[in-house]
C-alpha cells in the first residue's frame, strides 16, 4: 500500500501511514491511501528515475574516459572520438538531470 502526504506529497510505502510525515512533519491523518492506478504510476516513475540516475553515473564515467583519451592524444582521429564522447556525455547527462527535475517537480519521484 502507498500513502501520500496531502501537505507535501511525500509517498510512504507500508500497511499504515507513518505517525508523522518524515518530510514535513504533518500528522498521520494528513495521509491519504493511493488507489492501485496511482500506486502503479509511482512504481513506473521510480523505475524510470532509477534508469535516468544510472545513466547520469555512466555519463560521468564516459566524461572521465574521454578526458583521459583527449590528454593521451595518440592521433587526431582518436582525439576526435574522445571529444565526441565528452560532448555526448555532457549532453546526455544534462538531459537526464533535466528530466528527473521535471519528474520531481510533478511529484513523480514517489
Ligand atoms: Zn508531508
User: Per mean pLDDT, which range of 58-62, 86-90, 96-100 is the poorest?
Assistant: 96-100
- The confidence score (pLDDT) of residue 108 equals 64
Confidence of residue 6 (pLDDT cuts 50, 70, 90): very high
Q: Quick one: average pLDDT of 30-51? A: 93
- Greater confidence (71 vs 41) lies with 71
Q: Where are the domains of the chain?
A: 1-34, 44-105
Mean pLDDT, to the nearest integer, of 44-57?
Answer: 94
CA of 30 to the centre of ligand 1 (A): 8
Q: What's the pTM value of the predicted model, to 2 decimals? A: 0.76
Reading the block at residue 58, the C-alpha cell is 555512466
How far is residue 85's CA from residue 80's CA, in Å, rounded to a whole number? 9
CA distance 27 to 29: 6
The CATH number, out of the four listed (2.130.10.10, 3.30.70.600, 3.40.50.1100, 2.20.28.10), of the domain defined by the range 1-34: 2.20.28.10
* Residues 3, 12 contacting (CB under 8 angstroms): yes
Q: How many whole angstroms from 103 Cα to the centroid of ligand 1?
A: 18
50 closest CA partner among 106, 107, 103: 103
On the question of pLDDT at 100 being above 60, the answer is yes
Q: Please give all residues whose CB falls under 5 A of ion ligand 1, grouped by chain where several chains appear.
A: 5, 7-8, 10, 21, 23-24, 26
Amino acid at each position: 500500500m502507498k500513502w501520500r502526504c496531502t501537505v507535501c506529497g511525500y509517498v510512504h510505502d507500508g500497511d499504515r501511514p507513518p505517525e508523522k510525515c518524515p518530510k514535513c512533519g504533518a500528522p498521520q491523518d494528513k495521509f491519504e491511501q493511493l488507489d492501485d492506478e496511482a500506486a502503479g504510476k509511482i512504481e513506473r516513475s521510480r523505475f524510470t528515475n532509477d534508469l535516468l540516475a544510472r545513466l547520469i553515473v555512466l555519463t560521468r564515467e564516459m566524461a572521465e574516459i574521454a578526458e583521459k583519451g583527449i590528454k593521451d592524444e595518440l592521433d587526431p582521429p582518436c582525439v576526435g572520438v574522445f571529444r565526441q564522447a565528452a560532448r555526448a556525455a555532457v549532453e546526455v547527462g544534462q538531459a537526464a538531470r533535466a528530466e528527473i527535475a521535471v519528474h520531481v517537480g510533478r511529484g513523480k519521484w514517489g
